[in-house]
Amino acid sequence: MSSSSFRTPPGQRPRSKLGRILTELTPRFFDTALERVGIKQFKWLGLLFLLLSIPLIVTPLEVWQQGAIAVFFIILGQVLVKAEEQESSPEIGQYYHLFMVWLSLVTTLRYLYYRVSYTLNFDNFINGFACSLLFAAELYAILTLVLAYFQTLKIKERQPINLAAIPEDQWYSVDIYIPTFNEDVEIVRKTALAALVCDYAPGKKTVYVLDDGRPERYKPDNPNYEKFRGRREELRRMCEELGCIHMTRDNNEHAKAGNINTAFHKTGGDLVMILDCDHIPSRQFLMHTIGFFNDPKVSFVQTPHWFYNPDPFERNLVTGGRIPVGNELFYKVLQKGNDFWNAAFFCGSAAVIRKTHALEVGGIAVETVTEDCHTALRLHSKGYKSVYYDKIMVAGLAPDTFSSYVGQQVRWARGMAQILRIENPMFNPKLKLNLAQRICYMSATSHFLYGYPRLVYAVAPTLFLLFGINSVQGLGVETLAYALPHILLSLFCNYIIYKHVRFSFWNEIFEFVMSFQAGWVTLLALINPKLGTFNVTDKGANIAKRTFDWRSMRGLVIVSSLVISSLLAVPYWLLLRPEDWQAVLVNTMWSGFNLILLSSALLVGFEQPQIRTAHRLQRHLPVIISSNDQTIMGETINISETGALVSLESWPNLPDEVQIEILGDFSARATLTGRVIRLSPVSETETHLAIDFVNLNQQQKDQLTLVIFSDVNEWYSQKHDYSDQPLASLGFLATSLTRSLRDVKQIPRKKVRKQIQAYGQLYWDGDFFPGVATELGVTGMRLELDGKRAVASSKQLGEQDLHNMRNAKPLVGLLLSQEANSQTPTKFVAEIISVQEDASGRIAIELNLPDKFKGQQTPKVKQLLQSL
């Protein structure tokens, strides 16, 4: 290979000397060596590497020596993080990651060896009990750390397989299932609409709405009976209108899993695409996923779940889109890591599954409430393959309220613990899984056991400061010398792999929020896996005012109170027991850190009001705005089903209502009427136009749904440019209270009307008063009177007249024309809204055109707008 192969490409930052050694010589040596090593030899090589690490783990050192080693390891870790950030080659970045994993494991095991050898405290029952709880929590944390390291050793990126080379008549037939129970019919309609327009071979795709909302579940005198009966009939009519098939069953056994299994035996497709009823698919979904099934061993293809509305963490902590959402860690990293080991999970929606394989394992699993992951485990145990394709192709609804979020997480926690208890994926010999798959499933099913360990971390320093219960013998500077490398290097290692999907310290927030609920349900599931039922997550709620979810947060409120009390006790320790200053210092820092996390966790339960009636999506779509004789091109900044913010490259003079045509990424378009509510210049060449969509019929609503949610080339959340900054992340959490308590104000709406000059006469109390109309729109106008004298009499407007206009807001007559002495002025009936008189005596009157005359007067307004 010529030396030119190692030159820095144009525009790429040159590597440091250390970087060249690590990224050019070392990786190539290992690549060459490992190519000649078989799997058995590789295992022995790994064992040898572990044996060589033992001296680094068990060698005893003086405190100052351990401190020096700790500083060295921390600096080395920081250097590796910086080098990895500057590296443009993913392959070379992988070596940095692997080296950091080894470094982190060495420091973690050294810390664990120190803890076991020197710090376990069993001098009395209470201390021994507290010590056992803390040590068990640490063992769990280390276990999950090691399992996660293995899951993410290698990240697999996939490209879609092109179907064009295969004749369409040989394509698989696909059934699209949309299971539903009690969700609003409008939510189901959007998903069904988008499913029907998914690109695929004609005649090879059928859409089914699986309606499990049986009115027969209730007695006829129960209000729910009539509610579900009406909903079922509405769904039936919707399916008939759209052209999809409405499917029901005569029972509700096994909830969603049973609903899908029943449909398996009634439909004839080779493959089944499953969509939660709020998961609106983009039109390219099938074209990007079906090609993977050319491999007959592939059982299912899973894609990411993405939510277009903010979840309770985003909304209640007012993150403003600056923090990755909760599920990005799973879908952007963990699933890709699982995919490398052929252990990607089926997630119940946004997926396509091969029906014959599903039926071979008995259909969708019904023994647990996380039937999706359980089904994937059984398919993998049969030796089949899974595919995870990381392209967002569904837009769903996240739980709107914190209580709904808790219900969803409780179901997942219970279900994963049920799988752990029933299947025992790590050690069950009946499961035909390889070691890598066992590790991945063990990591997933044990994840939700974090509840009680997280609470132990919060309570341990509090017990010492309040009651003198010492769970760590000799806690002080020496302990920090062992603990800090373990903690910081694990943070560095996680930073390398998670820096774009999970910011530092946010994992602790997620765990604190659910600690009591997750701890309780997983404990019950491990004791008796048959406990618990499937619950449907509520979607589409609207929060009108700030509230605090005391019911969900009462446990954390108690823990937070104890932590605050423990910090108040610190001065007493320093006064009465100054010899224990090291233990007091460490426990104080620990409690202070816990308080920051707990405060942010509590604020997640402090519901923030929703200002908008519909969630805005940051989509940039071409728009064509038409008004009278002018056509203006623009682009949406954000858009929802009720309105949009549009960027225009001009300062237009627009009336209050315009026609707007919105174009999707491919061929969809929607033509709507928009009411202008705000027109704001932002530069010399750009204006932001805020529009509400008005008077939409069902066809226009459907068109808009397809433009916004279906006709999508790439969702804006597919790629992010933000990256973790640990100290900034901690500071952001520490200031959560100031953001959560900030006043939420709606941007005021202004009257936007076309600026005109037209002659007008106000008909008041039997006389006409001349003036000039300066603004005109479909909903109203502004008239400025030339004076107070009437046209054909000596009558003048007095103070009593102006008072009556202001207070009575009466209906008045109005004549408008282009010429002063027009014989055919246009007549209107208008309502006076406000009257203002300036120092010179000029009177300005704001008038509304009443809705009851809209049919007769709107055409006349539009005609005038076109001519003026």
298-302 and 351-354 beta bridge pairing: antiparallel
What is the rounded distance in angstroms from the CA atom of residue 562 to the CA atom of residue 511?
18
What is the rounded distance in angstroms from the CA atom of residue 89 to the CA atom of residue 501?
20
What is the rounded distance in angstroms from the CA atom of residue 781 to the CA atom of residue 774?
8
Over residues 572-590, mean pLDDT: 93
Q: Which two tokens stand for residue 529?
A: 């896996």
Topology (CATH level 3) of domain 622-710: Thrombin, subunit H (2.40.10)
User: Which residues lie across from 582 on neighbouring strands?
Assistant: none
pLDDT at 301: 98
What is the rounded distance in angstroms from the CA atom of residue 273 to the CA atom of residue 126?
55
3-state secondary structure (DSSP) of residue 842: coil
696-729: per-residue pLDDT in tens?
999 999 999 999 999 999 998 888 778 888 889 9
pLDDT at 119: 93
What is the rounded distance in angstroms from the CA atom of residue 176 to the CA atom of residue 188?
13
What is the rounded distance in angstroms from the CA atom of residue 304 to the CA atom of residue 281?
11
Question: Amino acid letter at 822?
Answer: S
Residue with tokens 């009427």: 673
Give the gyration radius of the chain's Cα atoms.
Answer: 33
What is the rounded distance in angstroms from the CA atom of residue 796 to the CA atom of residue 426?
94
What is the rounded distance in angstroms from the CA atom of residue 850 to the CA atom of residue 834?
15
Residue 465 has pLDDT above 90, yes or no: yes
Q: Which two tokens stand for residue 68?
A: 């020096």
Residue with tokens 């246009």: 826
When pLDDT is cut at 50, 70 and 90, the band that residue 796 belongs to is: confident
Q: Is 754-867 CATH 2.40.10.220?
A: yes
State the average pLDDT for the chain.
Answer: 88
206-230: per-residue pLDDT in tens?
999 999 988 888 888 888 889 999 9
What is the rounded distance in angstroms from the CA atom of residue 632 to the CA atom of residue 637?
16
Q: Where does residue 848 rank: exposed (0-12), middle (13-18), buried (19+ CB within 10 A)?
A: middle
Q: State the DSSP H helix or E strand holding residue 806, giving kind and residue range, or none if neither.
A: helix 799-808
What is the rounded distance in angstroms from the CA atom of residue 474 to the CA atom of residue 523?
32
User: Which residues lie across from 271 on neighbouring strands?
Assistant: 174, 354
Q: State the DSSP H helix or E strand holding residue 143, giving kind and residue range, or none if neither.
A: helix 125-151
Under 8 Å CB-to-CB from 525, ≥6 apart: which residues? 413, 414, 415, 417, 418, 421, 531, 532
What's domain 169-398's superfamily in CATH?
A: Spore Coat Polysaccharide Biosynthesis Protein SpsA; Chain A (3.90.550.10)
Question: Amino acid letter at 425?
Answer: P
Q: State the DSSP H helix or E strand holding residue 849, giving kind and residue range, or none if neither.
A: none
Q: Quickly list H helices, 636-710.
A: 698-705
Contact between 6 and 24 (Cβ < 8 Å): yes
When pLDDT is cut at 50, 70 and 90, the band that residue 13 belongs to is: very low
626-638: per-residue pLDDT in tens?
887 788 999 999 9
What is the rounded distance in angstroms from the CA atom of residue 719 to the CA atom of residue 497?
15
- DSSP labels, 573-640: HHHH-GGGHHHHHHHHHHHHHHHHHHHHHHHHTEEPPP-SSS--B----EEEEEETTEEEEEEEEEE-
Percent of the chain with pLDDT over 90: 57
Residue 543 has pLDDT above 60, yes or no: yes
What is the rounded distance in angstroms from the CA atom of residue 355 to the CA atom of residue 495?
40
Rama region for 320: left / alpha / beta (φ>0; ψ in -120 to 50; rest) = left
Over residues 590-595, mean pLDDT: 95
Question: Amino acid letter at 754?
Answer: K
3-state secondary structure (DSSP) of residue 8: coil
What is the rounded distance in angstroms from the CA atom of residue 385 to the CA atom of residue 378?
11
71-109: per-residue pLDDT in tens?
999 999 999 999 888 877 777 788 888 889 999 999 999
User: Which residues lie across from 272 on neighbouring strands?
Assistant: 175, 353
Residue 187 has pLDDT above 80, yes or no: yes
When pLDDT is cut at 50, 70 and 90, the band that residue 11 belongs to is: very low
- Global pTM reads 0.86
Residue 143 has pLDDT above 50, yes or no: yes
Contact between 145 and 137 (Cβ < 8 Å): no
Known catalytic membership, residue 838: no
pLDDT at 705: 96
Instruction: Give the residue with greater pLDDT, 213 vs 751.
Output: 213
What are φ and ψ of residue 625, in 5° steps? -105, 125
Over residues 230-248, mean pLDDT: 95
Known catalytic membership, residue 212: yes
| The one catalytic residue among 212, 311, 390, 702 | 212
Query: Quick one: CA torsion of 474, 478, 484, 489, rounded to 10 degrees?
Result: -120
What is the rounded distance in angstroms from the CA atom of residue 399 to the CA atom of residue 325?
13
Q: State the DSSP H helix or E strand holding residue 797, giving kind and residue range, or none if neither.
A: none
Number of other residues whose CB lies within 10 A of the CB of residue 262: 20
Q: Which two tokens stand for residue 122?
A: 């069993």
Residue with tokens 């203006």: 632
393-430: per-residue pLDDT in tens?
999 999 888 988 998 999 999 999 999 999 999 999 99
Q: Which of 307-311, 332-336, 379-383 bottoms out in mean pLDDT, i.e. has the lowest?
A: 307-311
Long-range CB contact pairs, 558-561, < 8 A, 24+:
559/455, 559/458, 559/459, 559/598, 560/595, 560/598, 560/599, 560/602
| The one catalytic residue among 276, 311, 339, 372 | 372
Domain segments of the chain as ranges: 60-151+450-541+550-604, 169-398, 622-710, 754-867
First to last CA, the chain: 76
Q: Which of 203-212, 781-790, 830-839 bottoms out in mean pLDDT, i.e. has the lowest?
A: 781-790
- DSSP labels, 552-571: HHHHHHHHHHHHHHHHHTHH
Residue 2 has pLDDT above 50, yes or no: no
3-state secondary structure (DSSP) of residue 289: helix
3-state secondary structure (DSSP) of residue 177: strand
From 97, 102, 103, select the one nearest 152 (Cα to Cα): 97
Q: Which of 186-190, 336-340, 740-744 bottoms out in mean pLDDT, i.e. has the lowest?
A: 740-744
Q: Which of 43-52, 58-67, 471-480, 826-835 bottoms out in mean pLDDT, i.e. has the lowest?
A: 43-52
Say how far residue 683 (Cα) sits from the centre of its chain.
Answer: 32
When pLDDT is cut at 50, 70 and 90, the band that residue 6 belongs to is: very low
pLDDT at 193: 97
* 622-710 and 754-867 share one fold: yes
Residue 9 has pLDDT above 50, yes or no: no
Contact between 475 and 583 (Cβ < 8 Å): yes
Q: Which of 200-204, 586-590, 743-747 bottoms out in mean pLDDT, i.e. has the lowest?
A: 743-747
Q: State the DSSP H helix or E strand holding residue 168, giving kind and residue range, or none if neither.
A: none
Contact between 399 and 539 (Cβ < 8 Å): yes
606-607 and 780-785 beta bridge pairing: unpaired
What is the rounded distance in angstroms from the CA atom of residue 512 to the CA atom of residue 598?
7
From 442, 539, 453, select the one nearest 139 (Cα to Cα): 453
When pLDDT is cut at 50, 70 and 90, the band that residue 4 belongs to is: very low
Instruction: Give the residue with greater pLDDT, 535 vs 531.
Output: 531
pLDDT at 31: 53
From 83, 100, 105, 103, select the one nearest 23 (Cα to Cα): 83
